[in-house]
Amino acid sequence: MKDRPGSVLRLTQPIRLWLQRFTFLLLLGAAAGLMLLGKADTVIVERMRVAASDAMAPVLDALSRPTAAVNDAIEAARNAYGLALENRTLREENARLMQWQAVARKLEAENAALKSALGFASETAATEVTARVIGASGGAYVRSLLVAAGSRHGVRKGQAAVAGTGLAGRVSEVGDRSARVLLITDLNSRIPVVIESSRDQAILAGDNSDRPRLDHLRPNSRVSPGDRVVTSGMGGIFPPGLPVGTVIGADGGFRVQPPIDWDRLEFLRLLDFGLAGPVRAPASSGDPGGRP
């Protein structure tokens, strides 16, 4: 009886040797058989695949949970780090804004005191009418827009037309229910402007392009790309300080880039500052018409 385990092993040894030699061939044959079975009966193979997937699903789910938890933890750490950086940036920006607020309040108080001491006449607040753009110019050499607001809405000739934060043009024609706005890019547009930083005066001249020219600058003017350009108030057409755009370099001079997308103008604000219009030279005493 003691020799039975040894005898069993001796009997199974040839089988084990045979399996070791032909394992690859057996696996290859099994794969070929499965392929033939799949070609012959796809329903059985699909059921076997589904059963195998169902059997492995709990195992894969259990293995994926730690990975998902680790990924969530990493993402949460990244978000926390990003929020910390953003919070620090916002705190620094808020501190700078508070400093500028204190400076602005001080300057506002000084400005009010100086105006009161000098008896300066403050400008009246502007009234405005918002109008929808309903038409463009009819010719290739005229840049103007038709808006759905007229004299019955308080629109009058010479009012400033503003789009967003930039001057777009002025009202050139007024009807009962509509008005036409001549854009600052039109060839007929001439606007007195000033470089905000250096206070050098110039004329913004339209030439039917999207970037008007800066003409009549003095030879010693301090102008460089990036300078802000605003209206000067000369001539009584526009009040001083209306934003026009920023200076950009160009061949042979400077141009102004307005902060306006000319192809997407849908609304214009028509501002009335109560100005009397262009300043005219007084007529001579000898001729009522002002002719020499």
Tell how strand 179-183 and strand 166-174 pair up. Answer: antiparallel
Instruction: Report d(CA 250, CA 213) in Å as an integer.
Output: 9
Return the closest-CA partner of residue 128 out of 106, 98, 149.
Answer: 149
- The pLDDT of residue 123 is 60
Instruction: Report d(CA 259, CA 265) in Å as an integer.
Output: 12
CA-CA distances (angstroms) from residue 221 to 43, 113, 182, 242? 87, 32, 29, 21
- The pLDDT of residue 289 is 38
- The pLDDT of residue 281 is 41
The sign of the dihedral angle between the CA atoms of 53, 58, 62, 64 is positive
- The pLDDT of residue 247 is 93
Return the closest-CA partner of residue 274 out of 163, 166, 123, 115.
Answer: 123
Instruction: Report d(CA 174, CA 152) in Å as an integer.
Output: 10
- The pLDDT of residue 239 is 86
pLDDT in tens, the chain (292 residues): 445 555 656 666 777 777 777 777 778 877 777 677 666 666 666 777 677 777 777 776 676 677 777 777 888 888 888 888 899 999 999 999 999 998 888 888 888 888 778 776 666 567 889 999 998 875 544 789 999 999 999 999 989 999 988 999 999 899 998 999 999 999 999 999 999 988 999 999 999 899 999 999 888 888 989 999 999 988 888 888 899 999 998 777 899 999 999 888 899 999 988 765 554 444 443 343 333 3
Within 8 A by CB and 6+ apart from 185, the residues are 143, 206, 207, 208, 209, 210, 211, 212, 258, 262
CA-CA distances (angstroms) from residue 110 to 103, 105, 117, 251? 11, 9, 10, 43
- The pLDDT of residue 22 is 73
Residue in this structure with the two tokens 């009522």, named with its chain if needed: 288
Residue in this structure with the two tokens 């192809």, named with its chain if needed: 263
The pTM of this model reads 0.57
Q: Tell me: the pLDDT tens digits for 184-230?
A: 999 999 999 999 988 999 999 999 899 999 999 888 888 989 999 99
- The pLDDT of residue 290 is 39
Cβ-based burial of 161 (10 A; exposed 0-12, middle 13-18, buried ≥19): buried
Name the architecture of domain 127-272: Beta Barrel (2.40)
- The pLDDT of residue 5 is 55
